[in-house]
């Protein structure tokens, strides 16, 4: 049962990292919109974190598959497939020359991803708490049984 707690702790930290990366990308796009950053800085900052986000999300999906958590695997597989498709078509990076034209689309895309990652985060927190409480209750029962005799 301890391995399951470890799984949910890893999933928890990966979910936090995914949320942080998407929020960072949204902040960069908002700064571009309000002229706090130039297009080159914005696209280079966002392009720097796109691949790590794709890898972390794919690793999380693979982790759910390997640990037989089918519900979470089926939730994360479409996003992983979409990321792979973007990467193979070479449309995963932002172009400096077209960033002003695509700011609203990119913000909407990242807002949808933020919503998805928030739902995933809450599911992971729920499962983490359930596993931790179950593990504590089982330890408590084992401790009382050992003091009985």
pLDDT tens-digit series, residues 55-92: 999 999 999 999 999 999 999 999 999 999 999 999 99
pLDDT of residue 149: 46
Which residue carries 């990292």 as its tokens?
Answer: 17
Residues 18/57, Cβ–Cβ less than 8 Å: yes
Residue 118: both structure tokens together:
């928030």
Domains of the chain, by residue range, sit at: 2-148
Q: Please, which residues have CB within 8 angstroms of residue 53's CB and are 6 or more apart in sequence? A: 18, 21, 22
The percentage of the chain sitting over the pLDDT mark of 70, rounded to a whole number, equals: 93
pLDDT of residue 76: 96
State pTM to two decimals. Answer: 0.89
Provide DSSP, the chain: -HHHHHHHHHHHHHHHHHHHHHHHHHHHHHHHHTTSS-HHHHHHHHHHHHHHHHHHHHHHHHHHHHTT-HHHHHHHHHHHHHHHHHHHTT-SSPPGGGHHHHHHHHHHHHHHHHHHHHHHHHHHHHHHHHHHHHHHHHHHHHHHHHHH-
Query: Dihedral angle at the C-alpha atoms of 60, 78, 27, 89, nearest 10 degrees?
Result: 110
């Amino acid at each position: 049962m301890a391995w399951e707690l470890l799984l949910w702790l890893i999933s928890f930290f990966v979910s936090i990292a995914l949320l942080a990366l998407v929020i960072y990308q949204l902040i960069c796009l908002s700064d571009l919109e309000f002229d706090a950053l130039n297009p080159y800085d914005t696209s280079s900052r966002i392009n720097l974190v796109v691949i790590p986000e794709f890898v972390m999300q794919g690793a999380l999906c693979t982790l759910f598959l390997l640990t037989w958590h089918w519900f979470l695997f089926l939730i994360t597989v479409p996003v992983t497939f979409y990321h792979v498709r973007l990467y193979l078509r070479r449309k995963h990076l932002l172009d400096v020359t077209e960033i002003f034209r695509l700011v609203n689309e990119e913000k909407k895309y990242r807002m949808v991803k933020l919503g998805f990652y928030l739902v995933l985060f809450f599911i992971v927190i729920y499962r983490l708490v359930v596993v931790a409480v179950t593990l504590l209750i089982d330890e408590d029962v084992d401790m009382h049984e050992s003091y009985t005799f």
